[in-house]
Amino acid sequence: MASAAEELDAVVVGAGFAGLYMLHRLRGQGLSVKVFEAGADVGGTWYWNRYPGARCDVDSLNYSYSFDPDLEQDWEWTEKYASQPEIHAYLRHVADRHDLRRDIVLRTRVTAAVFDEDTARWTVRTDGGHEVSARFCIMATGCLSTPKFPEVPGLERFSGPWYHTARWPEDDPGFRGQRLGVIGTGSSGVQAIPFLAGQASELTVFQRTPNFVFPAFNGPIDRSVVAETKAHYREARTAARHSLFGVAMDMPTQSALEVSDDERRAVYQECWDRGHVFALVQSFTDLIFDAGSNETAAEFLREKVRDRVDDPELARKLEPRGYPFATKRPCLDTGYYETYNREHVHLVDLREEDLVEITAKGVLTTEREYEFDSLVIATGFDAMTGALLAVDIRGRDGVALRDKWRDGPETYLGVAVAGFPNLFTITGPGSPSVFGNMIVSIEQHVEWIGDLVDHMARHDRSVVEAVDTAEKEWTEHVRAVSDATLLPRADSFYLGANVPGKPRVFMPYVGGVGPYRAKCDEVAGNGYEGFVLR
């Protein structure tokens, strides 16, 4: 254990993609840094989400660090979309390659961070009894890291074992021959269900909202694409950084309503065949702006459900309806719908019967009790703010972040908060974050924060704080940009709508990864306008 009030330049909370690179970056700038990580290993998301079938929905060559050109060349991805074990192995490799582990304290959760105005330092405390003092406190806690559980009571009464997809045990439990219940059909459920169906003797899925799901067409990585990308990685990375979603793609030029039905179908089919989450979203200019255009894509995808599911009544239940396409994160699948053609797989439509409680034997709905040997909870996350507010963060005048954000998060650029000097939130609310390729957004924030810290050192400044008016303007801009789209029309985790009582505020910045980067660069170029440096 660290000695009381060990003095550091920076504390980083979390050792996932963001925390590892932040440590590397600040250490390279000569700062003393310590990382606290709750998990038993580095990896963040890719440590915790080890459920069967877990894999990335951004292609491997894009979902990787760009900061180390040698790593980029050395590392060999095996699949188009990497699995959890492969991404975890990659992050473990990065930690070793850059000798990061010596400054990472594992199995240790940060519980509080308090700013002292007299010393202009943060005191950071952990559940392991650490107390450290640091000039900078950097939250690399991830956007999807605080699990959300079903609201109904009784989970503790269930007599069998249960597992949340985001807290999967290191030793995979396996469900061979068991009656298994799964609650939730977001990306985690959609990925896990085909694998779980391969184990369980009876699998029952409780679906509240059917998702838009299309095939990943995953497989061994195309070696010619690898060679081509590696030969031009710098250009590819630059293009990704300036793109809409952090993955370089051709920009559409037409509305979905400007073309004939046949042309539109051909475009959708081509995107479908690519098995790419953003391709379909970006196939026409107006899919996330115009309900009529959006409906054409939605109907195309519903038709595919009908093609893939044998029983028409079951297909009807699985067809996504009631919210526009892409207003909840669409899912990439491998055999998801086909799984429902298997005799031992059953669907309970929670729009027709409500969940009442978890009982000792299983799940009680308004229709009947379903009995299970084990349960899988795939109900997602308290997204974006959950992990930040889990820590008791107190800024100037002892103000708690939990109080400041009572009506929803307010940030300047999603990276800083007025009243909380020298605190940074990597991919915080108000930045593109979950609305694109996380790694591109993480690297951008890490580098921007690193540059700011360097700027402060060169200009003999020790404290930086977002200005209240700049924060208000940015928060309003984030809201206005999302309000111009269809995105707030779904009860999504982007809006906090999946967590009862959470303020209904659209959290990611949806103006695009490239334009957002340009804005951050402009702020820095103008001497960090919107910040006070003391």
Which residue from 26, 56, 309, 347 is in contact with ligand N01, where contact means CB under 6 A? 56
Interface positions, 362-421, toward ligand N01 (CB under 6 A): 378-381
Which residue from 50, 498, 508, 528 is in contact with ligand N01, where contact means CB under 6 A? 498
Conformational region of residue 374, where left means phi above 0, alpha means psi within -120 to 50, and beta covers everything else: beta
Query: Minimum distance from CB of 119 to ligand N01 (Å)?
Result: 39
| 247 lines the binding site for ligand N01 (CB under 6 A) | no
Taking CB under 6 A as the binding criterion, the range among 167-175, 203-211, 226-234, 391-399 that sits at the site for ligand N01 is: 203-211
| 209 lines the binding site for ligand N01 (CB under 6 A) | yes
Separation of alpha carbons 31 and 26, rounded Å: 6
Number of Cβ atoms within 10 Å of the Cβ of 441: 29
Given the complex with ligand N01, which of 147 and 419 has the nearer CB atom? 147
> Are the beta carbons of 318 and 347 closer than 8 angstroms?
yes
Q: Any bridge partners for residue 124, and if so which?
A: 113, 132
Q: Which two tokens stand for residue 469?
A: 């008016």
| 43 lines the binding site for ligand N01 (CB under 6 A) | no
Q: Which two tokens stand for residue 168?
A: 């999967």
Given the complex with ligand N01, which of 33 and 298 has the nearer CB atom? 298
Give 446's contacts (C-beta < 8 A, 6+ positions apart).
18, 21, 22, 25, 426
Query: Minimum distance from CB of 309 to ligand N01 (Å)?
Result: 17
| 184 lines the binding site for ligand N01 (CB under 6 A) | yes
Which residue from 41, 57, 72, 471 is in contact with ligand N01, where contact means CB under 6 A? 57
Query: Minimum distance from CB of 264 to ligand N01 (Å)?
Result: 26
| 293 lines the binding site for ligand N01 (CB under 6 A) | no
DSSP 268-314: HHHHHHHT-HHHHHTSSTTTTT-HHHHHHHHHHHHHHHHHH-SSHHH
Given the complex with ligand N01, which of 392 and 491 has the nearer CB atom? 491
Strand bridging mode 121-126 / 131-139: antiparallel
Q: Nearest to ligand N01 by Cβ — which residue? A: 186
Separation of alpha carbons 433 and 441, rounded Å: 6
Here's the x/- map for ligand N01, 314-343, by CB under 6 A: it reads as ---------------x--------------
Q: Any bridge partners for residue 453, and if so which?
A: none
Interface positions, 426-455, toward ligand N01 (CB under 6 A): 434
Which residue from 65, 493, 506, 516 is in contact with ligand N01, where contact means CB under 6 A? 493
Given the complex with ligand N01, which of 151 and 353 has the nearer CB atom? 151
Query: Minimum distance from CB of 345 to ligand N01 (Å)?
Result: 16
Burial group, residue 415, by CB count within 10 angstroms (0-12, 13-18, 19+): buried
Q: Which two tokens stand for residue 507?
A: 């959290």
* Lookup result for tokens 């699948």: 333
Taking CB under 6 A as the binding criterion, the range among 5-13, 187-195, 251-259, 465-473 that sits at the site for ligand N01 is: 187-195
Which residue from 8, 100, 140, 144 is in contact with ligand N01, where contact means CB under 6 A? 144
CA distances from 515 to 164, 240, 278, 450, 523 (A): 36, 12, 17, 20, 12
Interface positions, 71-90, toward ligand N01 (CB under 6 A): none
Which residue from 355, 358, 449, 456 is in contact with ligand N01, where contact means CB under 6 A? 355
Separation of alpha carbons 37 and 104, rounded Å: 7
Given the complex with ligand N01, which of 246 and 421 has the nearer CB atom? 246
Residues composing the chain: 534
Given the complex with ligand N01, which of 426 and 466 has the nearer CB atom? 426
Which residue from 34, 208, 304, 445 is in contact with ligand N01, where contact means CB under 6 A? 208
Number of Cβ atoms within 10 Å of the Cβ of 260: 8
Q: How many residues bind ligand N01 (CB under 6 A)?
A: 27
> Are the beta carbons of 56 and 79 closer than 8 angstroms?
no
Number of Cβ atoms within 10 Å of the Cβ of 5: 12
Given the complex with ligand N01, which of 409 and 530 has the nearer CB atom? 409
> Are the beta carbons of 380 and 184 closer than 8 angstroms?
yes
| Interacting residues toward ligand N01 by CB under 6 A | 56-57, 144, 150-151, 165, 183-189, 191, 206, 208-209, 329, 350, 355, 378-381, 434, 493, 498
